[in-house]
C-alpha cells in the first residue's frame, strides 16, 4: 500500500509551467523546421522568357539559355559557371579557377529593336516561297525561284546537294539572303553576323525603329554573300550536324588522359588540339550566345559559347576574340583568331565541348 500511495501521489502532482513552456517551444520549432525544409526543397517555377531586345520580353524560352544538366545543379551566375568549367590549368579539372581570374567580357552594344513575324511575313514581298514537289532537284528549284544554287542552299541552310524532302517549304530572295531569326537574337547581332549595316537591313525589310521581332520571322539581308553558308557546309563536311568543326586542322592531341606536353604530368585532356598557325580564323561550332570571353590560367585567351540543350563550346589559346559577351552568333560565324596564349607548346586551337560542366569528346559530336 505504501508504494501504491507514493506512486499515486506522484501522478497527482500539478504540471510544472516551465515544462509546459519547453514542450510548446519544441512543437513550434518542429513546425518552423518543416516549413523551411518544404520551401527549400520546392523548385521555383519561374516563367522562362526570351529577351528579344532591350527592355522587351515575350513568354517563350530562349534557346540560348542552357538548362541544367540532369543530375547536376546549374550554377546561378556567369562566374560560377566559368569556375566550374574552366580548371586552373589547361585540360585539368582538379580544381576550379579563382574568381579573380574571370575577366568580364566587353559589354554588348545596345540591341536594336526588330520586327514581328507576322509583319515580316505579310509585308516583305521580296521573299518568295515554294513547296518542294516530287521530282524537283536543288538546281531546278533554284532556277524556278530565280536565285543561284548557292544562295538557295544558304537561304534554307541546306548542307548537302540532295533535293529537300517533298513538302518542305523553301524560301529565297533575289535581293539578298534570307535569314531566319533565332530566339534572343537582335538586329545588332544579325548585322554583325553578315557584316551588313542595321540601316540597310531595316530599309530592305520595311522596318521602323518602333517594331519588334520574334523567333521564326524571316528577313532579307541585302548584299549578304552565300560564302557564309559555304563555310558552314565545308566545316560540316556536307552533313547535317548540331556542331561543326571550328576550323580546318589536324587533331594533334585527342580527348582523354595524356602526358602534358609542357608541364610533363599525366592529366585528363578535356578537349582536342587542332594544329593551325597563329592568326587562323575560328568559327562558331554552333549557334548560341557568347557566354564568356577573357583570360584564364592555362587556357590563355578563351571564348565560351552557350548553346541549346545545355551545351558549351570552349575555344582556348586564342590571340583574340571577335565577339562580345551576350552577343548571339550563328553557326559558322567568325568568332575568334587562333593564337599561342596560356600554357601552350606552340600555336594551335584548344577546342572543348561540354554537356553542362562535364567535358565530352568533341569528335563524337562532330561530322
> What whole-number distance in Å separates Cα of residue 347 and Cα of residue 345?
7
pTM (two decimals)? 0.69
* Burial (0-12, 13-18, 19+ Cβ within 10 Å), 254: middle
Assigned CATH topology for domain 78-104+243-364: Glucose Permease (Domain IIA) (2.70.70)
Q: Indicate the length of the chain as a whole number.
A: 367
State whether residue 129 is helix, strand or coil: strand
User: Are the beta carbons of 304 and 293 closer than 8 angstroms?
Assistant: yes
Bridge partners for 320 per DSSP: 337
Q: What does the pLDDT profile of the chain (367 residues) look like in tens digits?
A: 444 433 344 444 454 555 556 666 666 566 655 544 444 433 333 322 222 333 232 222 333 333 333 333 333 344 555 666 665 444 333 333 333 333 333 334 434 343 333 333 334 668 999 999 999 999 999 999 999 999 999 999 999 889 899 999 999 998 899 999 998 888 999 999 999 999 999 999 988 766 777 889 999 999 999 999 999 999 999 888 899 999 999 999 998 787 776 667 787 889 999 999 999 999 999 999 999 999 999 999 999 999 999 999 999 999 999 999 999 999 999 999 999 999 888 999 999 999 998 999 999 999 9
Q: What is the crossing angle of helices 149-156 and 138-145, to 10°?
A: 90
Beta strands in the chain (DSSP E): 50-53, 56-58, 127-131, 169-173, 176-180, 218-222, 250-253, 256-259, 266-269, 272-275, 281-283, 288-296, 300-307, 311-321, 328-329, 334-338, 349-355, 358-360
The DSSP-derived string for 300-319 is EEEEEEEEGGGEEEEEEEEE
CA dihedral 355→361→362→367, nearest 10 degrees, is -120
- The domain covering 117-235 belongs, at the CATH homologous superfamily level, to LysM domain (3.10.350.10)
For the chain, the domains span 2-41, 78-104+243-364, 117-235
Amino acid at each position: 500500500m505504501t508504494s501504491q500511495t507514493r506512486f499515486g501521489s506522484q501522478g497527482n502532482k500539478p504540471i510544472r509551467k516551465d515544462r509546459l513552456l519547453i514542450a510548446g517551444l519544441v512543437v513550434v520549432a518542429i513546425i518552423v523546421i518543416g516549413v523551411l525544409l518544404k520551401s527549400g526543397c520546392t523548385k521555383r517555377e519561374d516563367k522562362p522568357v526570351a529577351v528579344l531586345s532591350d527592355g522587351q520580353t515575350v513568354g517563350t524560352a530562349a534557346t540560348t539559355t542552357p538548362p541544367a544538366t540532369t543530375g547536376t545543379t546549374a550554377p546561378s551566375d556567369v562566374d560560377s559557371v566559368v569556375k566550374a568549367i574552366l580548371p586552373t590549368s589547361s585540360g585539368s579539372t582538379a580544381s576550379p579557377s579563382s574568381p579573380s581570374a574571370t575577366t568580364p567580357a566587353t559589354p554588348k552594344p545596345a540591341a536594336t529593336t526588330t520586327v514581328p513575324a507576322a509583319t515580316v511575313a505579310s509585308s516583305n514581298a521580296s521573299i518568295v516561297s515554294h513547296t518542294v514537289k516530287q521530282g524537283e532537284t536543288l538546281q531546278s528549284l533554284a532556277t524556278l525561284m530565280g536565285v543561284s544554287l548557292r544562295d538557295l542552299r544558304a537561304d534554307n541552310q541546306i548542307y548537302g546537294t540532295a533535293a529537300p524532302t517533298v513538302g518542305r517549304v523553301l524560301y529565297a530572295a533575289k535581293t539578298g539572303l534570307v535569314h531566319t531569326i533565332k530566339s534572343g537574337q537582335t538586329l545588332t547581332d544579325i548585322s554583325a553576323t553578315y557584316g551588313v549595316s542595321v540601316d540597310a537591313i531595316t530599309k530592305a525589310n520595311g522596318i521602323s525603329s518602333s517594331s519588334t521581332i520574334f523567333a521564326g520571322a524571316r528577313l532579307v539581308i541585302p548584299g549578304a554573300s552565300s560564302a557564309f553558308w559555304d563555310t558552314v557546309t565545308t566545316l560540316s563536311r556536307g552533313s547535317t550536324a548540331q556542331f561543326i568543326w571550328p576550323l580546318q586542322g589536324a587533331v594533334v592531341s585527342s580527348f582523354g588522359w595524356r602526358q602534358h606536353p609542357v608541364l610533363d604530368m599525366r592529366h585528363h585532356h578535356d578537349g582536342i588540339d587542332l594544329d593551325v598557325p597563329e592568326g587562323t580564323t575560328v568559327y562558331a561550332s554552333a549557334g548560341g550566345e557568347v557566354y564568356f570571353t577573357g583570360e584564364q590560367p592555362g587556357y590563355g585567351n578563351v571564348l565560351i559559347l552557350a548553346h541549346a540543350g545545355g551545351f558549351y563550346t570552349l575555344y582556348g589559346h586564342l590571340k583574340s576574340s571577335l565577339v562580345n559577351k551576350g552577343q548571339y552568333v550563328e553557326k559558322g560565324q567568325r568568332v575568334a583568331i587562333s593564337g599561342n596564349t596560356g600554357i601552350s607548346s606552340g600555336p594551335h586551337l584548344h577546342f572543348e565541348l561540354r554537356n553542362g560542366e562535364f567535358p565530352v569528346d568533341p569528335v563524337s559530336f562532330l561530322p
